[in-house]
Copies of this chain bind each other. A is one copy, B any other.
Amino acid sequence: MDATKGKVDQGMQNPGGQMDKPVGYHFMESMLPKVVKRRVHALKRLQVQCANIEAKFYEEVHELERKYAALYQPLFEKRRDIVTGTVEPTDEECEWHSDREEEEELAEEIKEKAVIEDSKKEEATPQEDAKGIPEFWLTIFKSVDMLSDMLQEHDEPILKHLKDIQVKFSEPGQPMSFTLEFHFEPNGYFNNAVLTKVYKMKSEPDASDPFSFEGPEIIDCEGCQIDWHKGKDVTVKTIKKKQKHKGRGTVRTITKQVPNDSFFNFFNPVKVSPDGEMDEDSEFTLATDFEIGHFFRERIVPRAVLYFTGEALEDDESEQDEEGDDDDDEGDFDPKKEQPQPAECKQQ
């Protein structure tokens, strides 16, 4: 983009002059005859009207999503009950076409030796009496890079108590938002049964830049207070510091609490500055947070089991491979991920 802009500016300073080595074809609106330029402006006004219609479209898509959230709900509850071991699925509910195929293939491939190993392993496994699917969500956190980047060793025992993640949409008529709910079983770390993160969205074109509108975008988020048990807060660490008295020269040791890396900082996000002025680090942190929130909503929660087994990861990676071939100017245009896009992540 910068390159293009540079070219256009250059052209404007030398109207009619030859641009050196133009990369592709660059048209200059400013060079149009006045009568044509005013017609182009008329088209731009029409385009603003289109953006306003588009905003209504995305509101309706949001309503559709609310409607469908209710249809998914019973399936997600069933999932939670199986994950936590509250419900044991029937044999019929567990029938999976690949069961036999997989076993046959495996038997074929690894032959006797491996089979012996396998039976040994099974004997040695104490988890045959496991409840539900142990470490279901923790496994997902470890498998998905975007999440494992946040994950620290001290977070892992806590996340073993994570029972479910749910997405709740704002009610109609309310400002558009969605809430991620992290449901925990009683644990030795904090008292909250649910930790929440709310993502606020904006779904109308910006008056000052209507053409950048591409559907709802996340504009802010809010965490929650975690009611940690004494000494269990992993988001802080206590450091000891020796302090020398300037006058007397005596040394004393003080303890000090400092921030500590942890996934649970997710519930204490950077604040969006009301005047829009933020330093680059905070902006980056916030943009990443919005991406993660969006990823939970769009990918992890709707298809958790596929992240647990790794199937969804393979899809994500293969799409990345395909994109490698794409080197045109619209390089990032992935028709698989195009439209409508009711949840853009952008801080203001």
Which A residues are closer than 8 A to B by beta carbons?
A: 1-5, 8, 12-13, 15-16, 24-27, 29-31, 33-36, 38-47, 49-50, 53-54, 56-57, 60-61, 64-65, 68, 71-72, 75, 78-79, 82-83, 88-89, 91, 93-96, 99, 102, 106, 109-110, 114, 117-118, 121-122, 125, 127-130, 132-134, 139, 142-146, 148-149, 211-212, 214, 217-218, 290-291, 294-295, 298-299, 302-306, 308-321, 323, 328-346
- A12 partner, pick from B40, B45, B110, B299, beta carbons under 8 A: B110
On whether the beta carbons of A313 and B329 are closer than 8 Å, the reply is yes
Residue with the highest number of chain B CB atoms closer than 10 Å, among A142, A304, A330: A330
Oligomer: number of copies: 2
A315-B61 contact given A25-B148, A341-B338, CB 8 Å threshold = no
Find the residue from A8, A64, A302, A336 having the highest chain B CB count within 10 A.
Answer: A336
Q: In the assembly, what is the distance between CA of A333 and CA of B121, in Å?
A: 38
Contact yes or no, A316 B298, CB < 8 A: no
Asked if B314 and A5 sit within 8 Å, CB to CB, the answer is yes
Check if B79 sits within 8 Å of A310, measured CB to CB. no
- Contact present for A342 and B340 (CB under 8 Å): yes
Knowing A5-B314, A320-B332, the reply to whether A122 touches B33 (Cβ < 8 A) is yes
Residues of B within 8 A of A60 (CB): 64
Q: Report B-chain residues with C-beta under 8 Å of the C-beta of A50.
A: 72, 75, 302-303
> Once the chains bind, are B42 and A1 in contact (CB under 8 Å)?
no
Show 28 residue pairs from A and B whose CB-CB distance is below 8 angstroms, ordered by the A residue.
A1-B314, A1-B317, A13-B114, A26-B143, A27-B142, A27-B309, A29-B309, A38-B94, A40-B133, A41-B95, A42-B89, A43-B305, A44-B309, A53-B71, A53-B72, A54-B302, A145-B330, A146-B328, A146-B330, A211-B311, A211-B312, A295-B330, A320-B329, A323-B332, A336-B341, A336-B346, A339-B341, A340-B340
